[in-house]
Structure 1
Amino acid sequence: MRHLRRTAVMAAILGTCATALPVAQAAAAGEGRRAPGVERVSLTAAGGQADGESNRPVISGDGRSVAFESSATNLVPGGKAESQVYVRNRWTGRLQQVSVATDGTPADGGSIAPSISATGRYVAFQSFAKNLAPGRNPEPGSDVYVRDLWTGRTELLISDKPSTRGSSGAPAISADGRYVAFTSTRNDLVPGDTNLRSDVFVRDRWKGTTKRVSVRADGTQVGLASVQPVISADGSKVGFRSRDLTDVPEPPSDPAGTGLRPPSSTEFYVHDLRTGRIELAAHDRDGRPVPVGGGYSLSPDGRYALFTSRSATVVEGDTNHRADAFVKDLRTGVTRRVSLAHDGAQADGHIYDPVMSADGRRVFFVSGAGNLVPGDTNDGPSDVFVRDLRTGAVERLNVAADGSQDNGGAGSLAIDLLGRTAVFDSSGDNLVPGDTNKVTDVFLRRVK
């Protein structure tokens, strides 16, 4: 029964139980017949190397499509030397530019920060272009767009008004493409936005409604910036960084007893879109907020909040003085540290970008630690790891087929729904044969 419940949850996340889940499971079965190994994704349509940097990859829930941003000029004909968003269909090999208008006209400004739906149909992204869709005013700044790869339509998420000022960006799209969380400095998206700060919003594309989620439980706004939203795949919860959204007091260890913390030390909150509840996700054992950094995420079903923090007070026995990865069960309130070495030892380096597979068994993260797996001697560059929470086994993913260690630094980690495929960027030139372009590329690793 437990397995059936988990399968049902994954099916709901993917959208249509009758079609989407079998697609993902079939893809996983297909991957299982192929030996795990690293592939380079950021190649031209003809298989050539990119002539510019490629980074910040994301992967669809079914593992079929990988979107990324790149400043390469040769990925598609007519490419420009500024960052644009691309997507590669791994099953067909097709590469296309996402940051184009409905008629196919390329963006006339830079485009970044892709986020992709479960089937790869929708890609949300941030762009400074002015020619992608009607409703964009000529004022400087960026907007959020959603590209439907099945119909070829590009939509401006929220139309500008002639008097609109401010920018929107950092989109995060739900598995079915219905909800898009984003950050904006605009003050015309919802009534009563007078704090003159960046806020986090959620757009319901089906209903055409917008909600500000970076507010206190009583709906009052905060006077500090709220940024960097993440959304659970099922669209039920949105996480973000902010300050003072709850009545929980600050810890007594603030600098000089002033009650203040460095500006970069912000807190991780989760807003439940179904209940309206705001919860502090990162806190010490007494429930007081701890600063987060280095990435955070939500599990696909929204039950778990993952974050990194250098605080030694989140769990007992934290003595490594490093940023660790933690998982909080939002249902039970229990938080545990998950970034331990293969032998259970504490990591001797910082941890970044933790993400969890839909079954809750695997946690992936980036780290410069050298003791997580045996034989890690590349000393300095960050690596990509996966830890099995049931067995405690840890595996390093950014290694070449012959076992060679990455001679660059890896980061920008993302995984598919089942945790069978991980994507990341790396400046290393020894992960695949023939890597001679001397720029950061996007890579993919199938996981056992």
Structure 2
Amino acid sequence: MAFGTGTRILQPGAPYNSDNRVYLRERGNDRTRLVSSDSAGRPATGDYGGLISGDGRYVALAGQFSSLTPPGTVSSRWLLRKDLRTGRVETHRIPQASGPATGLPLSGFDLMAFSADGRLSAGEVWYVSADYSHWAVRIAVFDWVSHRWAMLGSFGAVRLLQAMSADGRYLAYTATNIPGHERELYLLDRATGVTRHVGRGPAGPAARHYHTQLSGDGRVMVTTWNRNPETYDMNVVVRRTSDLAVVNSLHGNHVTGADAVSYTGRWVLLSVLRPDGSGNVDVYRWDRTTGQRVLVSITRAGRPPSGDSFGVAITEDGATAIFTSHAGDIVPGDIPDDGEITDNVDVFAVTTPEAHRCR
């Protein structure tokens, strides 16, 4: 598992600062090591976000004020990839601005997806004026083998990447001409070049897009729609990417969305509002084949935790779920996140939990 944190307790002797660094947790041997470092293992400075490839060999990084970029370059305008076997760090500059983005002095890359083989990094390239009054964004895919960028569309309409399949073939994205109103969902097949509009289906014509996931094999897309934009009335709709036919629809007063999808699309992690009035959100594993929903965000004692939890990832066989939680009672000795003084959000892995069916 790759994760980012600003804490320094994982790095002995390092002073605390506000930088966010990326670490790798190897669950097989309970080892945690720093990833945002140079080839010699020296910690890098700057803020980082990272994603790990499906084969576990590479970590893609996007850094702000990164010390890993070539000397004398503008450090916020580079994408990075680290080979976990060799320690080698590769860097590449984001594309030069063009069209409406020309002349905007601030720029960067938001990393949002990484292919299973570590070859493709996908996200959004953005350019902003110094006073942040003008900005332009394009979806971009970088190929670490050919060292080429593939840009989606122009800088006119606002396009925001939602998900990429593990092989990089499918891209799901929202688009609008008005920032902040990304309601329309599209699916691009990069193999054929065909883009299709994705309807709202059972969510209804007034629904607004909330979030989309793609299965790793690219066969299904799982979209959370807000049925009523004035409230949080969520509807999870599962479609085949081949013909965009609806295969599942899940709506309920307490379902707040789909957080993660397994490689084959059989298992989905759902966020579900607890019906006891506490306001806490739990994570359930939904088996689309059997319809069973099982609580996975539980304490070691088998109870629901004392705070919110949110799904992150699920393995291909559905046996292990990764989630984050603000609770402090999932494992002994933890500290809860109070949202004010103590900022403590932890990452957990649960394998074949003893749990209860969702009601």
Q: How does the TM-score come out when normalised to structure 1?
A: 0.67
Residue of structure 1 equivalent to 2:288: 389
- Partners of 2:141 and 2:207 in 1: CA distance: 25
Residue of structure 2 equivalent to 1:263: 180
- Partners of 2:277 and 2:86 in 1: CA distance: 45
Offset at residue 68 of structure 1 (A) = 0.7
- Partners of 1:291 and 1:186 in 2: CA distance: 26
Local SS of the residue matching 2:107: coil
Which aligned pairs between 1:400-419 and structure 2 lie closer than 5 A? 400-419=299-318
* AA matched with 1:205: W
The 8 Å contact of residues 259 and 311 in structure 2, kept in 1 or not, is answered as no
Offset at residue 135 of structure 1 (A) = 6.9
Check if 1:331 corresponds to 2:242.
Answer: yes
* AA matched with 2:214: L
Q: Which has the larger displacement, 202-211 or 73-82?
A: 73-82
Check if 1:69 corresponds to 2:4.
Answer: yes
CA-to-aligned-CA distance 1:148-207 (integer Å, 9 cap, x gap) = 1111012224367799851112231100111111111159xxxxxxx9611111111111
- Partners of 2:228 and 2:247 in 1: CA distance: 12
Check if 1:151 corresponds to 2:86.
Answer: yes
Check if 1:166 corresponds to 2:107.
Answer: yes
Check if 1:310 corresponds to 2:226.
Answer: yes
2:197 counterpart (255, 265, 280): 280
Residue of structure 2 equivalent to 1:442: 347
Local SS of the residue matching 1:197: strand
Residue of structure 1 equivalent to 2:341: none
Offset at residue 232 of structure 1 (A) = 0.6
- Higher RCO, 1 vs 2 (CA within 8 Å, ≥6 residues apart): 1
Q: Which has the higher strand share?
A: 2
* AA matched with 1:151: T
Check if 1:429 corresponds to 2:328.
Answer: yes
The 8 Å contact of residues 328 and 336 in structure 1, kept in 2 or not, is answered as yes
* AA matched with 2:20: S
Q: Structure 1 residues 435 and 227, CA, compared in 2 at 3 Å: closer, same or farther? A: same
RMSD: 3.1
- Unpaired stretches in structure 2, ≥5 consecutive residues: 98-102, 129-133, 338-343, 354-359
Local SS of the residue matching 1:132: coil
Identity of aligned residues (%): 25
Residue of structure 2 equivalent to 1:235: 168
Q: Structure 1 residues 158 and 243, CA, compared in 2 at 3 Å: closer, same or farther? A: same
Offset at residue 273 of structure 1 (A) = 1.3
Residue of structure 2 equivalent to 1:63: none
The 8 Å contact of residues 138 and 155 in structure 2, kept in 1 or not, is answered as no
Q: Structure 1 residues 276 and 160, CA, compared in 2 at 3 Å: closer, same or farther? A: closer
The 8 Å contact of residues 309 and 324 in structure 1, kept in 2 or not, is answered as yes
The 8 Å contact of residues 185 and 197 in structure 2, kept in 1 or not, is answered as yes
- Unpaired stretches in structure 1, ≥5 consecutive residues: 1-65, 188-194, 216-220, 245-260, 314-319, 340-345, 371-376
* AA matched with 2:148: T
- Partners of 1:136 and 1:368 in 2: CA distance: 50
Offset at residue 76 of structure 1 (A) = 1.4
The 8 Å contact of residues 179 and 204 in structure 1, kept in 2 or not, is answered as yes
